[in-house]
Structure formats: structure tokens, C-alpha cells
Amino acid sequence: MLKKYKIVLIGAGNLATQLGLTLHEKGFEILQVFSRTIESATALATRLNAVPTNDLAGLTDVADLYIYAVKDDALEKVINTVSVKNGIHIHTSGSVPMTVFASKQANYGVFYPLQTFKKEKRVNFEEIPIFVEASNLQTAENLQIIGEIVGKNIYQTTSEDRCLLHLSAVFACNFSNYLFTVAEKILQPTNIPFSALLPLIFESVEKLKTLTPQQSQTGPAARNDKKTIEKHLNLLAKEPQFQQLYQLLSDAILQNVNP
Amino acid sequence: MLKKYKIVLIGAGNLATQLGLTLHEKGFEILQVFSRTIESATALATRLNAVPTNDLAGLTDVADLYIYAVKDDALEKVINTVSVKNGIHIHTSGSVPMTVFASKQANYGVFYPLQTFKKEKRVNFEEIPIFVEASNLQTAENLQIIGEIVGKNIYQTTSEDRCLLHLSAVFACNFSNYLFTVAEKILQPTNIPFSALLPLIFESVEKLKTLTPQQSQTGPAARNDKKTIEKHLNLLAKEPQFQQLYQLLSDAILQNVNP
């Protein structure tokens, strides 16, 4: 019975909190919660009926699943400090290869929910895609089953594909957010607040539910409106970096729409 | 009583349809609907209790407000064909200066709702910012009052500010949409569909309701993670345009976060 899997949760941050709460609600038994400070371990452990600990080397060895939900740059050190050898060991990182476990564990993998998390904001894992990877077929099956208990969209992926996923998210989220920063700066000399753009921004991402990004491309470059492009480039004369971005993105859209 | 303002609607496209339906519901009387074909004029006029026409030179001169909701590149020709001289004449374009009316009319202006419209999808104008500009104070007051009957967020702006608004929307919507296209292309060699990115994209724009774009900036460049940036640039080796974009956007974020 997988629902009786006993879990040790390593980490008490944003993702650990949301994943822990969901696993607990779904009937999994959380034995221990580790955090560097006993205070933050206790804060989460109390909500999960679990025992808090700040002793990584002394974790219980009777759990079936060890979830490493710690920062990317701390992961390797944490893995090397854990002495437990049995059970399945998984991390939750988008960009760290599964093989980070290879020299220490026999059954290991990755369980990567693609979303940003906050401790205080409950999330619905059924709306979050989860990317799973495992060191062997049995572990892959187990992670798939756990994934399907927690969420709805489970993808078995390789570390290479997870890398490309992370890269694509940088374009889709981090870089598009930077363009919102540019938009805000362009509005600064006016009396128009950035919030006036929000309804249009929301509508433009809403369209992605029914159209591909290429289908929903609009704007001066998409309609090859050279007059407006020229006018915009002139408006950006004092911001060479924005001007360069405008030119590069417009050229790319032009080529993409009329390949 | 402004609610009794009589209106002639020039245009029967996406914006004309949504604005016309809203004005009709709010109690304004629509006298005529013009379109180049009598069929499309009739289709909208029927819904607005108005008379359809395809005779621009013969529009009634008893209306108080003439709304030119036609394509940007048709606007000047349409304005020059209308022979009516009384009433207020406004266009609904984001990028055409108000002065396009200057040689033809005495009382004129702009009434620009910042949203994308479709004929078949009803929109709530209360959620749409409306940018208003007028040739004189009395017209500005009239447009403000009409704006407040139709919507909730009315901004009096100059043509110059409206230009900057349009430019900022190109960055915030058109260019960010292109980055979604890039994300989709990066995922093509994997078994991961673009739709897997949607929950993260929605969450990342949702944050803009409570944080400025600069505050919500995350990702490798924001945390100066040179190792990941290097890895990503290598992954893009076969896509020089994407690589150049990645470099330019990462440099800009780095400078923006650590100025």
C-alpha cells in the first residue's frame, strides 16, 4: 500500500511546506522533518504530525521515501551528510541532475513540481505539472504512483529534458517578467501607472489556453508595421539597451511570422 | 443629461461591437452604425437598435458624439470623408495622435480602451483602463463623464503619453508573447508540451497584482547564478538568435538587480 509509505522530509522551506502539507493530507505518514534550525523544523513538523530534527546525520532509517527539498546549491552537501542507505531518495530541483545521488544511493530520483511556492500560500498540486525521473524502473513506477496521488499531470522526463524545461521557463517567466520591468520604466515619465497594463497582460496570457504563442502573436512586428517600429525605436533613443532589445525581438518576430 | 447623448458609431469590428453593446446597455442612444458593407453594419446595428449605413458621406448630423472605431491605417481617410461638422468626434486608437481630426473638426478627442477585443467575446469595461484626450476642456469633461459611465479607470492623457503606453504594451504583451514562442521551441525536442508551462506563467503574472515587476524578478540572472547562465548559453549554441536574446536579457536583469 503506497499510501502507507513513510516519509522523511528534508527541508522546511516554501516547497517542502507545500509538498509536506499535501502529502500529509493525502494520507502519507511524515516521520521526520529536518531543517538546519530546530525552530523551523518544529514549525513545519507540528503541522504534519512529524518529529522535528536538525541532525541530518542521525535521520531515522525506517522511512520508505526521503525527500530532499533544499536549495540547489545545498543539495550535494546535504546528500553527502545523510547516512541512511535504504529507501528511495529524491530531490525536488529543476536544474540538478538526478545523478547527484549516484554515488550514495541505490534507489533515487527527482520529483520536480514546476511552480513557485510560498510557505503561507496553499497551492493545489492538481494544477501543477510534476516532472519525475528515477534511477530504475521500480523507483520510476513508485514515483509515478506517488505523483498521481498528489497531482494530475505527471511527466516522466530525463535530466536533459528537465534542463530544457528549466531553460524554457527562464524565457517564459523570468525574461517576460523583465519585459514587464521595461514596460514600467517606459511609463515612468507619464502619469499612467504600470497597473493600467495588467488587464491587457492577463488577457494576453489567458489566450494561451486556446492558442499557441505563435498563433496569438500580435503587435507592430507581427503585422510588419515598419512605420510604428521606426517610431518606437526613435522613442527609445535614450535607452540603448531597450532599443537593442526592441530591435532584436522585432526582427525575431518578423522572421517567425514570415519565415 | 449625458445619458441621452446620441451616438453615431463608425465601424463594426471587434472594438466597435464591444463598445457599442456597452454604450447601448448603459442607456446611450445609438443612431447609426456605419460599416463598409451594409451586411456588417446591419449585423451590429440590429443589436443596438440603430440604423445601419455604408454611406460615410451621408451620416446623420443630429448626433452628439461620433465614434471612429476603425483600423489605424483607415482612420485618416474615414475622417476626411465624414462631412458632419457638429458634435464631438473621437477615435479609439492607441497610436494615432488626436490631431488627426484637427483640420476637420472643432471638438474632438481620443477614447482608447487598452484591451484586445473580439466580436463574439463580451468584455467588462469596468476592468479595462480607458485613456482619454480632448481638444478642449469642455470636450475633456464630456469624455470623462462618458468614460465613467462605461468604465472605472479613466486616465486623461496626452498623445505623447499614449504613444509611450503603446510602446510599453509592445514590451509587456507582444514581446513577452514572443518569449513564450521561444519557450515552446526549446521544448520541441522533449516530450513536454508547452501547456506544462502555463501554471507557472499564470502564477508569474498573478504576482504583479501585489509586487512590482522588479520585486518579482527571479531566475538565474536575478541571483547572479553564472554557472546556470553559462549552461543555458551552451544549450542554445545551435540557436544563435535565442542565445543572443538570452545574453542580452540576462545582462539587463543583472544590471537591473545590482545597479
The DSSP symbol for A126 reads G
Coil, helix or strand at residue B249: helix
Residue B183 reports pLDDT greater than 90 = yes
Find where cell 527571479 sits.
B218
| Distance (Å, whole) CA B108 – CA B134 | 6
- A196-251 pLDDT, tens digit per residue, is 999 999 999 999 999 999 999 989 999 898 989 999 999 999 999 999 999 999 99
Decide if B244 and A248 are in contact by the 8 Å CB cutoff.
yes
Interface of B with A in 212-241 (CB under 8 A): 212-214, 216-222, 228, 231-232, 235-236, 241
ipTM of the complex in this document: 0.89
Q: pLDDT tens digits for B19-75?
A: 999 999 999 999 999 999 999 999 999 999 999 999 999 999 999 999 999 998 899
Substitution target in A124, A154, A161, A173 with the highest count of B β-carbons within 10 Å is A173
Question: Using the beta-carbon criterion (under 8 Å), do A174 and B213 form an inter-chain contact?
Answer: no
Kindly give the residue spans of alpha helices, DSSP state H, lying in B198-239: 198-206, 226-235
- Residues within 8 A of A (CB atoms), B 102-161 only: 114-116, 127-129, 131, 153, 155, 157, 161
Nearest CA in chain A to B128: A199
**Cβ–Cβ of A184/B114 closer than 8 Å?**
no
Closest residue on chain B to A131 (Cα): B192
User: What are the distances in angstroms from CA A177 to CA B35, B82, B169?
Assistant: 40, 44, 13
pLDDT-based confidence at A259, cuts 50/70/90? low
Contacts 24+ apart (CB under 8 A), B142-147: B142/B2, B142/B88, B143/B88, B143/B90, B143/B109, B143/B111, B145/B2, B146/B2, B146/B5, B146/B65, B146/B111, B147/B111
Measure A96 CA to nearest chain B CA, in Å.
Answer: 10
**Could you tell me if A150 and A125 are in contact, meaning their C-beta atoms sit under 8 angstroms apart?**
yes
Phi, psi torsion values for A113, nearest 5 degrees: -85, 125
Tell me the pTM: 0.89
Q: What 3-state class would DSSP assign to A129?
A: coil
Q: Enumerate residues 6+ apart whose C-beta is below 8 A from B215.
A: none
Higher pLDDT, B164 or B3: B164
Predicted pLDDT of residue B36: 96
What distance, in Å, lies between the first and last C-alpha atoms of chain A?
A: 54
Q: How far is A60 from chain B (nearest CA, A)?
A: 34
Residue B37 Cα, gap to closest chain A Cα (Å): 24
One-letter identity of residue B239:
E
The answer to whether A235 contacts B194, with C-beta atoms less than 8 Å apart, is: no
